[in-house]
Amino acid sequence: MKHVIDDGLLRRFDVPGPRYTSYPTADRFVEAFGEADYALALQQRRSGGSLALPLSIYVHIPFCESLCYYCACNKVITKHHSKSAEYLRYLTRELEMQAQHLGQGHAVSQMHLGGGTPTFMNDEELADLMAMVQRHFTLVPGGEYSIEVDPRTVTPQRLEHLHRLGFNRLSFGVQDFDPTVQKAVHRIQPAEQVFELVAAARRIGFESVNVDLIYGLPQQTPESFRHTLERVRELRPDRIALYAYAHLPARFKPQRRIVTAELPPAADKLAMLSISLDVFNQAGYVYVGMDHFALPDDALAVAKRQGRLHRNFQGYSTQPDCDLIALGVSAIGRIGATYSQNAKTLEEYYDSLNQGRLPIVRGLALNRDDLLRRAVIMALMCQGRLDFESVGLAHLIDFRSYFARELERLHEFEAMGLLRLSPGSIEISDSGWYLVRAIAMVFDKYLQLDRDRARFSKII
């Protein structure tokens, strides 16, 4: 069986690194950036008129009925569904305050509900949430409107309701089909349930169905994970997100319930990745980049072929480079040359809004070097190619002089066959796409100055 990437390279790059949903990464945000800075960014966007970037919306719903032990998301575990009604009232208040600064009726081409479990909300609450958004924004035809779905919380009838509300993309959290693994991470969901829901989603007319998988979970083996992959191959979702489990119990309390001795050794974890790449490659999936696979006719794969791929806090996107309005506890947004993050606890989030303040607790105003390096990293991670002259003209620099040290380091990657360097460009090779995070890290100024990388997940 021919691997799409050499196992030796997988072992060599089994190191921590950022995921680059933003640059600079969120760990660089500072508390000195607050509500006033964010409000100013909104007002500047408003005064920019037609020059402003397209707009995207992210809504974070933190509630889950039960705890998945691997989870590193910001969530609230509760069986009390009345909490979501209260939360919706505060989301409404937050959006109204943002609209006061931004203005009404802006076109939105992308919206994503994440969590937690967005489908913790009942049908009426989800309808109210979508109506609230549409009171202040215009959801344009042809946009991406997606929601994360816990298969244990929906039925085919609920999926029909989501479609009527305007959602056209679904992402199902599967992680692993093996019952032993599911028990070890406290997430029991029969494969038949997922198959039924994916079939229903196709009948209903959702444009794309994504399935999330995780390798490196307790009780997983290369053999057991191969069985899961074969079931996924049979399911044939439009997109697959394949994540490596990062065991960081010191940072994420739920992970302390995982029995460390049950985690697969590093060699088995790498074997699972290698097997995954083989299975998806043979099944005809396109490797979009960094954990993401798509069928050739899916919009994400088409966007990659056409050089239209973009990346934001939700991952890869077919939509143009967007500003992002983020709503809800812990949500991270981007407006112009700024990033911002909301309060991380419900108590703090509610308290800010009760006082008539936007719940911004930290963020960052990007400087000229940040904007330049962001452009470089995003070009590499989305287009797989970088033209020195284009970047130089856009940012008024001589690329080869400005990045002389970085270009020197890239010769090592070129020797490994991960990229091609010419006098005027960098081009990622087929095998380099699988390690694009490592290539992007070369241009991360903050990371080069800070050798403490243990807070990041492994790049493979």
Per-residue pLDDT reduced to its tens digit, 144-187: 999 999 999 999 999 999 999 999 999 999 999 999 999 999 99
Residues 228, 309, single domain; the answer is yes
Residue 99: exposed, middle, or buried by beta-carbon count in 10 A (0-12, 13-18, 19+)?
A: middle
Residues 52, 71, single domain; the answer is yes
- Please, which residues have CB within 8 angstroms of residue 219's CB and are 6 or more apart in sequence? 178, 180, 181, 183, 184, 262
Residues 29, 154, single domain; the answer is yes
Per DSSP, the residues of 84-110 read HHHHHHHHHHHHHHHHHHH-S-EEEEE
Grade residue 316 by pLDDT with cuts at 50, 70 and 90. confident
Tokens linked to 419: 């990229």
Residues 37, 158, single domain; the answer is yes
Quote the CA–CA distance of 55 and 334 in Å, as a whole number: 10
In a domain, 331, yes or no: no
* Among candidate residues 324, 341, 376, the one where a domain is terminated: 324
Residues 388, 424, single domain; the answer is yes
pTM: 0.92
- 322 in a labelled binding site: no
In a domain, 61, yes or no: yes
- 58 in a labelled binding site: yes
**Residue range(s) defining the domain that contains residue 387:** 1-20+368-451
- 212 in a labelled binding site: yes
> How far apart, in Å, are the Cα atoms of 106 and each of 313, 322, 335?
20, 13, 14
* pLDDT recorded at residue 290: 79
- 246 in a labelled binding site: yes
* Among candidate residues 257, 289, 324, the one where a domain is terminated: 324
In a domain, 342, yes or no: no
Quote the CA–CA distance of 55 and 20 in Å, as a whole number: 20
In a domain, 353, yes or no: no
* Among candidate residues 261, 293, 324, the one where a domain is terminated: 324
- 182 in a labelled binding site: no
Quote the CA–CA distance of 426 and 420 in Å, as a whole number: 6
- 207 in a labelled binding site: no
Give the CATH number for residue 303: 3.80.30.20
In a domain, 118, yes or no: yes
> How far apart, in Å, are the Cα atoms of 443 and each of 231, 251, 306, 416, 418?
39, 27, 25, 18, 16
- 116 in a labelled binding site: yes
- Please, which residues have CB within 8 angstroms of residue 401's CB and are 6 or more apart in sequence? none
Residues 374, 281, single domain; the answer is no
Residues 383, 446, single domain; the answer is yes
Question: What residues are paired with 65 via a beta bridge?
Answer: none
User: pLDDT for 67-96, tens place per residue?
Assistant: 999 998 889 999 999 999 999 999 999 999
Give the closest residue to 67 by CA, choosing from 78, 57, 58, 59: 78
Give the CATH number for residue 434: 1.10.10.920
Helix axes 82-102, 123-136, angle to 10 degrees: 10
In a domain, 208, yes or no: yes
User: pLDDT for 342-394, tens place per residue?
Assistant: 999 999 999 999 999 999 999 999 999 999 999 999 999 999 999 999 999 99
Residues 226, 240, single domain; the answer is yes
The secondary element (H helix, E strand) that includes residue 311 is: strand 310-312
Residue 36: exposed, middle, or buried by beta-carbon count in 10 A (0-12, 13-18, 19+)?
A: exposed
- 148 in a labelled binding site: yes
CB 323 within 8 A of CB 52: yes
In a domain, 338, yes or no: no
Q: Could you give the number of structural domains in the chain? A: 2
* pLDDT recorded at residue 1: 35
Residues 122, 206, single domain; the answer is yes
Quote the CA–CA distance of 134 and 60 in Å, as a whole number: 17
Quote the CA–CA distance of 336 and 364 in Å, as a whole number: 11
- 21 in a labelled binding site: no
- Please, which residues have CB within 8 angstroms of residue 246's CB and are 6 or more apart in sequence? 72, 456, 457, 458
What mean pLDDT is predicted for residues 109-119? 94
Residues 89, 232, single domain; the answer is yes
Residues 118, 36, single domain; the answer is yes
Grade residue 459 by pLDDT with cuts at 50, 70 and 90. low
In a domain, 75, yes or no: yes
- 382 in a labelled binding site: no
- 68 in a labelled binding site: yes
- 175 in a labelled binding site: yes
Residues 383, 239, single domain; the answer is no
- 115 in a labelled binding site: yes
- Please, which residues have CB within 8 angstroms of residue 46's CB and are 6 or more apart in sequence? 101, 102, 103
- 215 in a labelled binding site: no
Quote the CA–CA distance of 424 and 403 in Å, as a whole number: 12
